[in-house]
Amino acid sequence: MSSTGIVSTGSYVPTTVVTNEEIGASAGVTPEWIVRKTGIHERRRAAAHEATSDLAAHAARNALAQAGLRPEQLSFIVLATSTPDHPQPATASIVQGLIGATNAAAFDVNAVCSGFVYALTVADRMLSGQPEGEYGLVIGVDIYSRILDYTDRKTCILFGDGAGAVVLGPVDKGFGVLETGLITRGDQHRLISVPAGGSRIPATAESVEAGQHFFRMDGRGVRGFVHENLPTALHQLLAKAGISTSEVDHFIPHQANGVMLTEVWPDLGLHNAGLHLALKRYGNTGSGSVPITLDLVHRQGLLGQGDVVLLSGFGGGMNVGSVLLRWAATAYSTVSQKPEPLLLTG
């Protein structure tokens, strides 16, 4: 008998680095102000020729290579993004063609910054009960640099571009995905939005002139949502799984804002867990932030056999999604002499 778990990870960030000096100049703030408000020092920006599918394909290839799998061995691809290549077709379909996953069904999930965890939950359900040897690919990716108003200091300083991916497949019984939890507070959906470009407000010259195609966020409202909903969601998930807060070894959250995460951290009660943050160098990469950070943690050998790992995404919708795993050994897993985190804190 086997369970479903993460058998490999991969990520990709563009090569162009955007410093706080550069982003702060357009927003009218200092680099020191950005660090004080967010904990972010720099972020990456996709090149003009790179679309969301290109970043996703790079991350997918890295995850497949780590797993030692060929693309045609995948049964499906679930891609989470809120910045697709086009309104249609699904970006996952484009990625399927780019990587040559000829046997994989492919579709997108949009739960904004919670997207990867939502997609991982869907993929876990798809693999449950399937014959052993089935594999699925889950990708989280966003290019927020294309939808930012660079004069809006509340948003433009936060975001970077990037993609992360995991391969899901069979692991030993008792390992892998232990429990998942998803919540939505649709009555608060106006806290985060891109107002124009859909059926409510189609893209027009007037909507562009009014800046309605840009990402907008009520920062104070989002902070209140996270403080109110994240601790409760995580405690409910752990109780459902029969796992105490003290048993969690690693917490990998959506990399929304380092200051906000530090503020909410005591309320989570994860006193024995490492809080892993990669946002100092990569900023908030939307749906990509959880899998990018997971890949960094994994490739540094910080995830040991049997470690309890808690992933959580939260954001537009408003959504909170969490997945609890017991880590199964991979080529990068170690149980002793773990190196100090290079990009992470906790």
Q: Give the residue extent of every domain in the chain.
A: 2-172, 177-326
Residue 346 has pLDDT above 90, yes or no: no
Q: Which CATH class is domain 2-172?
A: alpha beta
pLDDT of residue 333: 62
Position 342 pLDDT exceeds 80:
no
pLDDT(207) > 70: yes
Model pLDDT, residue 270? 96
49 is known as an active-site residue:
no
- Judged against a pLDDT cut of 60, whether residue 340 lies above it is answered with no
pLDDT of 121 reads 98
Catalytic annotation present for 103: no
- 3-state SS class at 227: helix
Q: Coil, helix or strand for 33? A: helix
pLDDT of residue 224 exceeding 60, the answer is yes
CA distance 264 to 320: 14
Active site residue 156: no
Which residue among the candidates 20, 62, 257, 284 is catalytic per the annotation? 284
Measure the CA–CA gap between 237 and 181, rounded to whole angstroms.
Answer: 6
Q: How open is the CA angle 13-139-252, to the nearest 5 degrees?
A: 75
pLDDT of the residue at 344: 45
Tell me the percentage of the chain whose pLDDT exceeds 90.
92
What share of the chain in percent tops pLDDT 70? 95
Mean pLDDT score, 122-145: 92
Q: What is the pTM of this model?
A: 0.94
**pLDDT tens, position by position, 261-318:** 999 999 999 999 999 999 999 999 999 999 999 999 999 989 999 999 999 999 999 9
pLDDT tens-digit series, residues 239-275: 999 999 999 999 999 999 999 999 999 999 999 999 9
Residue 310, helix vs strand vs coil:
strand
Encoded tokens for 155: 């948003």
- Of the options 3.40.190.10, 3.40.47.10, 3.40.50.720, 2.60.120.560, the CATH number for the domain spanning 177-326: 3.40.47.10
Q: Catalytic residue among 20, 58, 62, 113, which?
A: 113
From 58, 213, 254, 276, the catalytic residue = 254
Instruction: Answer whether 277's CB lies under 8 Å from 299's CB.
Output: no
